[in-house]
Structure 1
Amino acid sequence: MTYEVDVLIIGAGISGIGAAVHLQQYCPQLSFKILERRQNIGGTWDLFRYPGIRSDSDMSTLSYQFYPWLKDQTLADGQSIQKYLYDVVEHYKLLDKISFGQQVVAANYSTQHKCWQLKTQNSQQQDEVWKARFIISCTGYYNYDQGYLPKFPKQQDFQGAIAHPQQWSSDIEYQGKNIIVIGSGATAVTLVPALVKGGAKQVTMLQRSPGYVVSVSAYDKTYQYLRQHLPAKWAYCWVRGRNIVLQRAVYSLARKAPQLTKRLLLKAVEQELRGKVDMQHFTPQYAPWDQRLCAVPDGDLFRVLRNGQAQICTDQIDYFTASGIRLKSGQHLDADLIVAATGLQIQLLGGLRLTVDDKPVDLAEKMLYQGTLLSDVPNFALMIGYSNASWTLKVDIAADYICRLLNYMQKHGYREVMPMTDVAQRLSETVMGALSAGYLQRAAEHMPKQGRRLPWKISHNYLLDKFVLKYAGFRDKNLKFGR
């Protein structure tokens, strides 16, 4: 069967739902549909089910500006975020705009017909064809089918269970067991206290090297106070604005004064540990914000370590044994269950084959115009959020920019827009910025590249982007329009 709409959104997660609301509000003359490969909305928040799954960004900025998060939670659990997204879909009556069970296999743009043709496979494994003038890819940046799981020496010798958080299922039993969590990122620092709370006998966080961990209040006391004196939306706006400025200030301080920032962060950790845990486990070798900071609500990770309910070990794996892991130091860690919180595998566009006139598109050779439009590819937008702030902040302003562009094209009778790559502007750095996280480094050769300056430079600065995208014009030598 063949279906046809003006705009196709790929993915019904935070980005896709946000883009859909903007289209509905600001481009009512255009028909659109969301193609979602899963049977549910939510993307990340529907996929991940491991114990303690929660946001690592504050909810005032992770929520949409057009649909405020009117609760006092700072970091929300995955179930609450999923419920919030359901409320958005219900409020804006988007459910009939979503086609579930649609795996987009390939997308080809015909320059002759000024149209995209997408091949999809539905939940019954039947092929379908969708046609659209414009595509907005909202598939996130990682492979939904499989996380990154390195092959450990003698892994097959381990007689217990090995799990990756991305494939966590309800039949994984961890109560009363000795557990090793391999990793030091956001997933690991979330899992450790959650497994303790869930009844694990002993939890060991095994990290190759330390990361920066900061404690944040689980509930926003400022919001609680303002709610006693102001309407909920006013309180939300105040807290959201404060958090946006604070996020940027911390990041800027870290880049301009890394040693000072490091001292401040480590001093806060030292106060949390109260001499019960060696600071070596929380003293990274890299500068703050070379990788994302890990936030823990009310210091829950530090609390279980202080109390001896969990332990942390900084060492390298030598090999797996039948009963656990032998470390390079010679120490042996016993385990019934090993959770490999070893990261994600980068995959843009959900793995679909992207072509223009049947010629493959190499993402590694592309850049993003205004952080949104894929260079040399007609009528194609790619939603990429911030690496140093909440993902949704970029979604709101990028979706608004796309709607302005579509209305401009409609007004002037254009059927096609394509940013023309300025090769002299292209750098080797990727669109995700200068973060040194392993999952980004592993995929650098497959990702679009950063530019030297606007409109090709990705600033990862919400305050700047909000101004630039709001007032950016479309009469630009870098943009090629066609009727």
Structure 2
Amino acid sequence: MVDFDIIIVGAGISGINFAYRLQERHPDLSYCILENRHEIGGTWSLFQYPGIRSDSDLYTFGFAWRPWTGKNSIVHGSLIRDYIEDSAAEKGIDSKIRFCHRVNKMKWSSSSNLWTFDITVNFVDRLSLTSHFVFLGTGYYDYQKPLEANIPEVSNFQGQVVHPQFWPADLDYADKRVVVIGSGATAITLLPSLAKKAAQVTMLQRSPTYIASLPTEGGFEAFAFNFLPRFLANKLIRLKWMLFSFFMVSFCRLFPRAAKAFLLRKTARLLPPGMSLEPDFIPSYNPWDQRLCLCPDGDFFNAIRSGNGSVKTGKIENITASAIRLTSGDELHPDIIVTATGLKLCTGGGIDITIDGKPYDMRDHFAWRTAMVEGLPNAVLSWGYVDASWTLGADSTAQLACRLLEKVKEGGISVIVPRMTAEERNRLEERPFLRLQATYVKEGGSAFPKSASTAPWQPRSYFWKDMAISRWGDIETGLEWLK
């Protein structure tokens, strides 16, 4: 006897959102959520480094079905976790979650048309569950292992070396000299947060990144909340941020030189008087070749103006017991090194998958509508956006999955699986799964399924197009439906 119609893996943004869509459109289907951690939140439960916050606005990062109503567009991670938890409780989703349930293996059987899950409960006990379908809301990075930073001889350092993914709760950095290695969103967040207590915080980067200041409270939001009905204010504010993100990314990609000049002018105005953009604030790449970093109310630049924060651009030659030596001959003498060099990318939570006893690796197959993977039956994988809020992409995937389930019920279908012929595969021209050139994406991009230049194997596009496909697009091409 089957345990559930659907098993959702992960109680973060993707898993909670899919559970809501499932309850909304298929209340007759049974489901549970298996969560490895002890609480709801995913990323916002795991990451606890100082200042952890969203790098997207909360009006689009929040759920469409439970709008974010706070005044600030960018907030601390603890508030995001509380918001996700409250959303799940309000819709009764929290009662469906089984915490401390780690999925080790997923086994598909074509004889029974079922998934069997091998699960560790509370890190000790073993459990087996079955379902017809699985929804993987497991994110895009490894929760168990951080990225191994390629830093020459960092093991020589006699001070403390910290990775933001596993920040020690008892780390005392007050009046200490801290070097944050990296220049992405995590480093941009850490510098102003650490600078409030540390003696000096230096962000050491191999090359500069684009950093844009964003007001936490906007005039449009204040007007809408004060003078419009709440439901209308929520819709207009969400639409405003969706349009802002879309046009900003489109402008950067269509007119990179103009976008670069615009962003650098803004940066120059935020730097201390007399400080030049060279060499620390002029990136070698075009805007949105890598993710654009945001700092609320210019806090990153405020820390630099205060003198407690600084930026150093250079390549590490080696690290001694007490110093970081750069190829330029300069030295830094930190008490603490923070390796904010990216995440170890991972698909499907690193779960071991077999189909009829044979190992299955998503990395060897093409992704259908960025939602299912070639040859993987009755499984949907949630993916967000790298150039907009993750939740927007997760919701388009959830709505596509609900549409597939509708056809399953109407047609008496037992199995849905993406397929392509050898001839079709030979004609496909591969494309990167993620359109980013960040080092950790380049090095770890092979962790993802493959994408191609033609539908339905193309990578993510933009929200309105993806949502239109989810609701009304072709769901026949590339899929095999078995009764």
With the shorter chain as reference, the TM-score category is over 0.9
Compare 181-190 and 211-220 and name the one that shifted more: 211-220
Residue 402 (structure 1) aligns with: 401
Determine if contact 2:214/2:295 at 8 Å carries over to the other structure: yes
1:62-96 Cα shifts (integer Å, max 9, x gaps): 00100100111111110110110111111011122
- Residues 121-140 of structure 1 correspond to what in structure 2 (within 5 A)? 121-140=120-139
Q: Distance in 2 between matches of 1:373 and 1:152?
A: 36
1:430-474 Cα shifts (integer Å, max 9, x gaps): 322x21111211122232111222222124311211112111244
Compare 59-68 and 313-322 and name the one that shifted more: 313-322
Residue 473 (structure 2) aligns with: 472
Q: Distance in 1 between matches of 2:321 and 2:276?
A: 29
Q: Distance in 2 between matches of 1:53 and 1:350?
A: 22
Q: Distance in 1 between matches of 2:125 and 2:141?
A: 25
How far off is 1:306 after superposition? 1.8
Determine if contact 1:162/1:338 at 8 Å carries over to the other structure: yes
Compare 321-330 and 288-297 and name the one that shifted more: 321-330
Say whether 1:261 aligns with 2:255.
no
Q: Distance in 2 between matches of 1:76 and 1:439?
A: 25
How far off is 1:429 after superposition? 2.8
Q: Distance in 2 between matches of 1:368 and 1:436?
A: 20
Aligned-residue CA RMSD (Å): 1.4
Compare 417-426 and 32-41 and name the one that shifted more: 417-426
Residue 481 (structure 1) aligns with: 481
Match 1:245 to one of 237, 243, 247? 243
Determine if contact 1:431/1:449 at 8 Å carries over to the other structure: yes
Compare 37-46 and 226-235 and name the one that shifted more: 226-235
SS in 2 for 1:228: helix
Change (3 A) 1:102 1:425: farther
How far off is 1:400 after superposition? 1.2
How far off is 1:124 after superposition? 4.4
SS in 2 for 1:95: helix
Change (3 A) 1:107 1:75: same
Q: Distance in 2 between matches of 1:382 and 1:424?
A: 24
TM-score in terms of structure 1 length: 0.96
- Residues 279-428 of structure 1 correspond to what in structure 2 (within 5 A)? 279-280=277-278, 281-421=280-420, 422-424=424-426, 426-428=428-430
Q: Distance in 1 between matches of 2:387 and 2:351?
A: 27
Q: Percent identity?
A: 35
Residue 21 (structure 1) aligns with: 20
Determine if contact 2:38/2:99 at 8 Å carries over to the other structure: yes
Residue 436 (structure 1) aligns with: 437
One-letter amino acid of the structure 1 residue matched with residue 355 of structure 2: V
In structure 1, stretches of 5+ residues that fail to align are none
1:399-423 Cα shifts (integer Å, max 9, x gaps): 1111111121011111111111341
Residue 203 (structure 1) aligns with: 201
Compare 21-30 and 362-371 and name the one that shifted more: 362-371
One-letter amino acid of the structure 1 residue matched with residue 78 of structure 2: Q
Residue 79 (structure 1) aligns with: 78
1:17-70 Cα shifts (integer Å, max 9, x gaps): 101111111111100010111111100000000000000000010001001001
SS in 2 for 1:279: coil
Change (3 A) 1:93 1:441: same
Determine if contact 1:367/1:426 at 8 Å carries over to the other structure: no
Q: Distance in 1 between matches of 2:429 and 2:122?
A: 41
SS in 2 for 1:243: helix
Residue 220 (structure 2) aligns with: 222
Residue 447 (structure 1) aligns with: 448
Determine if contact 1:49/1:168 at 8 Å carries over to the other structure: yes
Misfit runs of 4+, over 6 Å: none
Change (3 A) 1:410 1:49: same
One-letter amino acid of the structure 2 residue matched with residue 221 of structure 1: G
Determine if contact 1:324/1:334 at 8 Å carries over to the other structure: yes
Determine if contact 1:3/1:129 at 8 Å carries over to the other structure: no
Q: Distance in 2 between matches of 1:307 and 1:301?
A: 10
Determine if contact 2:195/2:308 at 8 Å carries over to the other structure: yes
Determine if contact 1:46/1:82 at 8 Å carries over to the other structure: yes
SS in 1 for 2:250: helix
Compare 277-286 and 338-347 and name the one that shifted more: 277-286
Determine if contact 2:224/2:237 at 8 Å carries over to the other structure: no
Q: Distance in 2 between matches of 1:265 and 1:367?
A: 36
Determine if contact 1:178/1:200 at 8 Å carries over to the other structure: yes
TM-score in terms of structure 2 length: 0.96
1:242-293 Cα shifts (integer Å, max 9, x gaps): 1111111111111111111111111110111153433121110011111000
Determine if contact 1:146/1:167 at 8 Å carries over to the other structure: no
One-letter amino acid of the structure 1 residue matched with residue 451 of structure 2: Q
Determine if contact 1:48/1:166 at 8 Å carries over to the other structure: yes
Determine if contact 2:373/2:418 at 8 Å carries over to the other structure: yes
SS in 2 for 1:269: helix
Change (3 A) 1:51 1:307: same
Determine if contact 1:254/1:289 at 8 Å carries over to the other structure: yes
Change (3 A) 1:156 1:443: closer
How far off is 1:298 after superposition? 0.6
How far off is 1:321 after superposition? 2.0
One-letter amino acid of the structure 2 residue matched with residue 14 of structure 1: I
1:296-339 Cα shifts (integer Å, max 9, x gaps): 00111011112212111001111112222111111111111111
How far off is 1:103 after superposition? 1.0
Say whether 1:4 aligns with 2:3.
yes
Q: Distance in 1 between matches of 2:105 and 2:123?
A: 18
Match 1:231 to one of 225, 229, 233? 229
One-letter amino acid of the structure 2 residue matched with residue 428 of structure 1: E
Compare 317-326 and 262-271 and name the one that shifted more: 317-326
Change (3 A) 1:328 1:3: farther
How far off is 1:152 after superposition? 3.0
SS in 2 for 1:89: helix
Change (3 A) 1:324 1:76: same
SS in 1 for 2:152: coil
- Residues 183-194 of structure 1 correspond to what in structure 2 (within 5 A)? 183-194=182-193
